[in-house]
């Protein structure tokens, strides 16, 4: 099965290659336009990304694919009213991951609860048939400082429920077994 992944995020691409073995994933090509994400909810954005990518690929694609998969995801922090949430990719965009993670942690008022969750919505738009969405979430808390070098993005500051290590410290296979993207991918695979 050949699937166009509507993302250029190298962290997501690496994870999907591990999470969806047996599926031939084509990343969003460098010459293609930026994929819009203008919605207020993960689901809206995932559907917008997938339908945009399908329309562009129908006109410009060089290979026949079975469908398009899009991921909209983010870190929702309780003490920040659910932020950065759908804006996770656009939070402090000029900062490298380490200072960005430190900036986010500095915004947590001292003594406030440190609860947070990662959320992922996948939109699947087959070339024949209607769109479907699959979601996954993982509850956890924010670390006091970034720890670990595995994964990407906010992984070094997120401690999943039941663990003492951050996603940045845990082996990737352990992350996949409990992560938002791992859960949404399992639902997608079950549907396929």
160 is a site residue for ligand IMP (CB under 6 A): no
**Minimal distance, residue 128 CB to ligand IMP, in Å:** 26
Catalytic residue (one of 24, 66, 72, 155): 72
Both ends of the chain: CA-CA distance in Å? 10
Q: Which two tokens stand for residue 187?
A: 């639902």
133 is a site residue for ligand IMP (CB under 6 A): no
166 is a site residue for ligand IMP (CB under 6 A): no
* Binding letters toward ligand IMP, positions 74-103, x by CB under 6 A: xx------------xx--------------
Q: Which stretch binds ligand IMP (CB under 6 A): 51-59, 71-79, 123-131, 184-192?
A: 71-79
Q: Which of 56, 57, 72, 188 binds ligand IMP (CB under 6 A)?
A: 72
Q: How far apart are CA 54 and CA 69, in angstroms?
A: 9
Rounded to 5 degrees, φ, ψ at 10 are -65, -30
Q: How far apart are CA 4 and CA 76, in angstroms?
A: 27
Rounded to 5 degrees, φ, ψ at 165 are -95, 155
Q: Which of 48, 73, 101, 185 binds ligand IMP (CB under 6 A)?
A: 73
72 given a catalytic annotation: yes
- Catalogue the E-assigned strands of the chain: 2-5, 24-27, 67-77, 83-84, 115-126, 132-142, 158-160
Give contact residues for ligand IMP (rule: CB under 6 A).
9, 37, 71-75, 88-89, 118, 151-155, 179, 181
């Amino acid at each position: 099965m050949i699937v166009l992944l509507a993302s250029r995020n190298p962290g997501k691409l690496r994870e999907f290659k591990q999470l969806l073995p047996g599926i031939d994933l084509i990343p969003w090509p460098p010459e293609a336009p930026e994929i819009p994400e203008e919605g207020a909810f993960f689901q809206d954005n995932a559907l917008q990304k997938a339908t945009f990518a399908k329309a562009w690929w129908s006109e410009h694609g060089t290979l026949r694919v079975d469908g398009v998969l899009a991921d909209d995801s983010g870190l929702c922090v309780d003490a920040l009213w659910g932020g950065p949430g759908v804006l996770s990719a656009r939070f402090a965009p000029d900062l490298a991951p380490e200072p960005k993670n430190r900036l986010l942690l500095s915004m947590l008022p001292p003594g406030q609860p440190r609860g947070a969750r990662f959320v992922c919505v996948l939109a699947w738009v087959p070339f024949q048939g209607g769109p479907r969405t699959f979601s996954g979430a993982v509850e956890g808390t924010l670390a006091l400082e970034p720890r670990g070098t595995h994964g990407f993005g906010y992984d070094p500051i997120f401690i999943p429920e039941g663990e003492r290590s951050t996603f940045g410290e845990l082996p990737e296979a352990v992350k996949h077994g409990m992560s938002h993207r791992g859960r949404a991918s399992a639902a997608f695979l079950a549907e396929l």
